[in-house]
Amino acid sequence: MKTYPLTSLTIEEATALQFKLVDSITRFFPGNEILTRGDLGVVKGLNQPEVTKKAEQVLADFFEAESAMLVRGSGTNAIRLALHGSVGTNGTLLVHDAAIYPTTQVSIDMLGINIKKVNFNDLDALKKAIVSEELDGVLVQVTRQKIDDSYDLEEVIQAIRALNETLPIVTDDNYSAMKTKGIGTQFGGSLACFSTFKLLGPEGVGCIVGDSRYINKLKQENYSGGGQVQGHEALDVLKGMIYAPVSLAISSQVSETLCERINSGEIEGLEKAYVVNAQSKVVVIKLKESNAKEIIDAATTLGALPHPVGAESQYEFSPLVYRVSGTFRATDSQAETTMIRINPNRSGVDTIVRILKEAMNIVKK
């Protein structure tokens, strides 16, 4: 099995990203406002909390975009609204020839969007589709949908833009924002979407970054007070994002080292380990026997998390030992019993190795 994980930021690059975000914050917030819990409600003239507005300005500045919007419903609703704002209902959307992420498929169905598929790993085929198909937009999921996916976000967007400068490009940056060198809009995309919960932020808040013509429309439609992200939540988004990149870069390094130790034969019963983006950057392990469930159950008793909460959210500091993702299972019917995935979260290699060794001993008994 050949895998092509996304290139993660080094700790030095992640540190620079932390500093960049703090710099953006200081450009829009006076210090006394940072030491508060923000404001609430639909402020006259803004139709949203003032602090939320400033947080959105920070995010637009940080990601070098025209505009940004915090939304309820996490990354799922960020993508749904982005598709609504740019592609609309009953449009035609070009996607990668792979299993569409389930919640995204729901959004596509809700909007009555028609799907055209092409292999994004083949840039010539992608270019042909852009020229030959009648399209209203393109959706690019940054993280891998299939084990052998190798396409590069920047290359995909540049290939599209070389042929069509105005076609809406929505990128699903969930599981990759703040981990790699940029989000979709930094490479020429129209709207980039991600969950701030995955970046140590509050539950249920998503972010859309990109072209103001689309985001302004979405803000005008979001006139209900109950639809606003409140000031204290917006501040929590920024606070989490400050610490996310360095933490995520450390986790990436742990994954690489863990993979090397497993492949050296240190743990009996594990055949091969791979670093993949499924959905987060994790270690996927091929087992020598079809005993994935038993290993997962044993690891849980030893301190590993039994299921994800928000994919590296603030609650997930212990390592996750879990089944491989749904999109991977869709491409390999045996994966659920013959593979496991491990997300280090905030743990170190030695902790994960200990848990796996003890879990394998329990399973053998």
Tens of pLDDT, residues 254-297: 999 999 999 999 999 999 999 987 667 899 999 999 999 999 99
pLDDT at 119 over 80: yes
What is the reported pLDDT for 328? Answer: 67
The DSSP element (H or E) to which 169 belongs, if any, is: strand 169-172
């995935």: which residue's tokens?
Answer: 341
pLDDT at 202 over 70: yes
Per residue in 123-179, pLDDT (tens digit) is 999 999 999 999 999 999 999 888 889 999 999 999 999 999 999 999 999 999 999
- Gap between the Cα atoms of 19 and 23, Å rounded: 6
Q: Which two tokens stand for residue 78?
A: 């960020």
- Within a 13 Å sphere around the CA of 170, how many CA atoms are in the beta-carbon half? 33
Contacts of 359 (CB under 8 A, 6+ apart): 295, 298, 299, 302, 304, 321
Per residue in 282-335, pLDDT (tens digit) is 999 999 999 999 999 999 999 999 999 988 999 999 999 999 877 667 767 788
pLDDT at 49 over 80: yes
- Gap between the Cα atoms of 112 and 91, Å rounded: 7
> pTM of the predicted model, to two decimals?
0.93
Quick one: CA dihedral 240, 182, 189, 139, positive or negative?
Answer: negative
What is the reported pLDDT for 311? Answer: 84
Q: Which two tokens stand for residue 319?
A: 């390592």
């701030």: which residue's tokens?
Answer: 196
Contacts of 191 (CB under 8 A, 6+ apart): 82, 85, 86, 168, 169, 170, 171, 184, 185, 208, 209, 210, 211, 214, 215
For residue 357, the SS3 value is helix
